[in-house]
Chains A and B, each alone.
Chain A
Amino acid sequence: MDESARKLKLMVYSAIMAALMAVGASIALPIGPVPIVLQNLFVLLAGLLLGGRWGFISVCVYLIAGAFGLPVFAGNTGGLAKFFGPTGGYLIGFAAAAFVVGTISELGKQRLVFDLAAMVVGTIIIYACGVTWLKLVLDVSITKALAMGMYPFLLGDCLKIAVAIPIVRMLRSMITLDFRTSNAIG
Chain B
Amino acid sequence: MAGVSVVGYIPGTSILHRLDPRTKQFLVMFLGIVCFLANQWYFTIVTICILIFSPKSVWPFRLIGELKFFLLFLCVLFLVRGFGLDAHYIPYTDAERLQQAFLFCWQLLLVVLLGVMLVYTTSTKDIRAGLVWWLKPIPFINEQVLATMIGLLIRLIPLILFQALEISDGMKARNIENRRYPFYRFVRFTIQLFRRAFVTGDDLVDAMQARCYTEKRTMPLLTFAALDVLAALLGIGIALISLVGS
Contact = CB atoms under 8 A, between A and B. Distances in A.
Contact of B29 (A18, A62, A68, A72): A68
B49 interface: no
Interface residues of B, number: 69
B152 A77 contact: no
A159 interface: yes
Contact of B183 (A5, A19, A162): A162
A117 interface: no
A182 B173 CA distance: 42
B55 interface: no
Interface string B144-171: 0110111011101100110010000000
Interface string A1-34: 0000100110111111011101100110101100
B22 to A, nearest CB: 11
B119 A19 contact: no
Contacts, number: 196
Contacts of A78: 112, 115-116, 119
Interface residues of A, number: 59
Contacts of B195: 171, 174
A85 to B, nearest CB: 6
B149 A11 contact: yes
Given A13-B198, A20-B197, A185-B145, A84 B36 contact: yes
B156 A16 contact: yes
A116 to B, nearest CB: 16
Interface of B: 1, 4-7, 25, 28-29, 32-33, 35-36, 66-67, 69-70, 72-73, 77, 80-81, 108, 111-112, 114-116, 118-119, 127, 131, 134, 140-142, 145-146, 148-150, 152-154, 156-157, 160-161, 164, 182-183, 185-187, 189-191, 193-195, 197-198, 200-202, 204-205, 208-209, 213
5 contacts: A75-B72, A76-B67, A81-B111, A84-B33, A167-B190
Given A70-B154, A71-B66, 20 more contacts: A5-B205, A11-B148, A19-B157, A26-B5, A26-B161, A29-B186, A45-B194, A61-B149, A64-B150, A68-B118, A68-B150, A69-B118, A70-B115, A76-B67, A77-B67, A77-B115, A148-B80, A167-B187, A171-B191, A174-B194
